[in-house]
């Protein structure tokens, strides 16, 4: 008998990610932003000391070129500012402006509300098992990818 757990996992995960993107897009449209802006605002909202573009890309697990475009858009809209360090643009620390801080707080509240809505009726013990299992799967996938790349 064919075991299709990986296929079910992949399709389910893709569907969940689509739903998350739709929720982000709906909440960001009033600010003239898209779902891709959320991770930058969220991460910078959690690091008031700011991050370099490279640190931001790593923290958000986002391509550096995409980070560059997102930061340019957020800077143009007045949500992010860059504080130069030694006059070098690539070492500039990106920080939220006061308007960016307000938007990051809105995002954090929206994330908490969504989380409560989608997991509120699931017992805490089940969620702990789910996340422990999910993180184990993530680790195992990383190991598999590393082994595959080493061949």
Lowest mean pLDDT across 58-67, 92-101, 118-127: 58-67
**Residue ranges of domains in the chain:** 11-120, 122-151
Q: Give pLDDT tens digits for 21-35.
A: 999 999 899 989 998
Looking at the DSSP assignment, which residues form a beta bridge with residue 82? 94
**pLDDT at residue number 1:** 44
- The reported pTM is 0.80
CA–CA dist 32, 107 (Å, integer):
14
> From start to end of the chain, where are the E strands?
80-85, 88-96
Average pLDDT on 115-143 reads: 95
66-70 average pLDDT score: 91
CATH code reported for the domain at 11-120: 1.10.10.10
What is the residue whose two structure tokens read 């449209």? 29
């Amino acid at each position: 008998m064919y075991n299709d757990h990986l296929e079910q996992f992949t399709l389910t995960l893709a569907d969940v990610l689509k739903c998350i993107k739709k929720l982000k897009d709906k909440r960001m449209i009033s600010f003239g932003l898209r779902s891709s802006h959320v991770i930058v605002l969220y991460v910078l909202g959690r690091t008031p000391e700011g991050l370099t573009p490279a640190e931001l890309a790593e923290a958000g697990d986002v391509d550096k070129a995409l980070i560059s475009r997102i930061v340019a858009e957020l800077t143009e809209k007045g949500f992010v500012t860059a504080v130069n360090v030694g006059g070098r643009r690539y070492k500039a620390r990106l920080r939220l402006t006061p308007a960016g801080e307000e938007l990051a707080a809105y995002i954090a509240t929206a994330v908490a509300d969504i989380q409560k809505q989608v997991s509120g009726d699931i017992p805490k013990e089940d969620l702990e098992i789910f996340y422990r299992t999910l993180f184990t799967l993530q680790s195992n996938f990383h190991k598999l990818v590393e082994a595959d790349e080493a061949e």
